[in-house]
Amino acid sequence: MKLCLERSGTGPTLVLWHGWGLNLHIFDELRDALAAEFEVIAVDLPGHGASEWLPGMDSEAQLSALLNTVPKDAALLGWSLGGQFALRAALRSPSQINRLILIATTPRFTNGPDWNHGLDPAVLGEFARRLRADWGGTVRDFLELQVRGGSGWVAALDALQAALTSHGRGDPAALAAGLELLASTDLRSALPTLTTPTLVICGERDRITPPAASRALTQALVNSQSLTFARAAHTPFLTQPTAVADAVRDFVRAAPLQKGAA
């Protein structure tokens, strides 16, 4: 399948995968800040933006297509759903990815008997039901949920909506598949096997993947560190772009991590 990607800058390669319902242009400000030191490759997820969607495509096929956008020894940054794909990519092809940056990412998106760091499964179920009846309204509501509560959330919401307007909206079938994936994915048991140096970034006011989820993710990984942005919600790279860019730049350039690094 054909995935849309855009390249900018020169230097070591950094690949960016976005979250549900959005497209690569959500990273425009972050890309501009990093392009002076890195070759930045921003990718539309399957069925999002200008990327193709094949009917019946399962999550493994999506992951395989996404891995084709990552050169060997690249750093990989994933946000939200893109972060779950990035975790799975590092687990599947550890020699391909030399650094992993996870923004607003959780190993399990919904609450369960032994996990209370996510959304109520009924919330995702309602989004899936509404998606079939009111695509535009459902996506707008989900975008607002991502930013509300954070500092500068109105401007962040404008940026999310502008990305959709400028570069294309997701295929409804791809969006439905994405919600199903968020509802069913649980990567917790595999986390201790991942040795790729990883930076976990979260927003203090994130209502979708709360800081507790990021702490649990960091603790389960054997080669990780975490960074929490005060007054940020689910999109810290929009509300605090310079600070996030600095954190990514420092992490990718740094020496190998050891467990417990601050």
pLDDT beyond 80 at 209:
yes
Residue 44 in tokens: 């539309």
pLDDT beyond 50 at 57:
yes
Mean pLDDT confidence for 123-132: 80
| CB-CB contact of 39 with 87 (8 Å) | no
Predicted pLDDT of residue 239? 86
Q: pLDDT confidence of 262, banded at 50, 70, 90? A: very low
Predicted pLDDT of residue 53? 95
Mean pLDDT confidence for 170-195: 92
Q: pLDDT confidence of 146, banded at 50, 70, 90? A: low
Strand segments, DSSP code E, in the chain are: 5-8, 13-17, 39-43, 74-79, 97-103, 198-203, 224-229
Predicted pLDDT of residue 111? 93
Helix 135-147 with 172-184: angle, nearest 10 deg:
50
Residues taking part in catalysis: 80, 206, 234
78 vs 157, residue with greater confidence? 78
Range from 72-76, 123-127, 141-145, 158-162 that averages highest in pLDDT: 72-76
- Note the pTM of the prediction, 2 decimals: 0.90
Mean pLDDT confidence for 40-58: 94
| CB-CB contact of 18 with 5 (8 Å) | no
- The 10s digit of each residue's pLDDT in 81-92 is 999 999 999 999
Mean pLDDT confidence for 7-24: 94
Strands 39-43 and 97-103: unpaired
Across all residues in the chain, what is the average pLDDT?
Answer: 88
Signed CA dihedral, 94, 214, 31, 158: sign only = positive
The lowest-confidence range among 58-67, 147-156, 220-229 is: 147-156
pLDDT beyond 60 at 257:
no
- Assigned superfamily of 5-253: Alpha/Beta hydrolase fold, catalytic domain (3.40.50.1820)
Predicted pLDDT of residue 172? 87
Mean pLDDT confidence for 230-251: 92
Radius of gyration of the chain (CA): 17
pLDDT beyond 60 at 259:
no
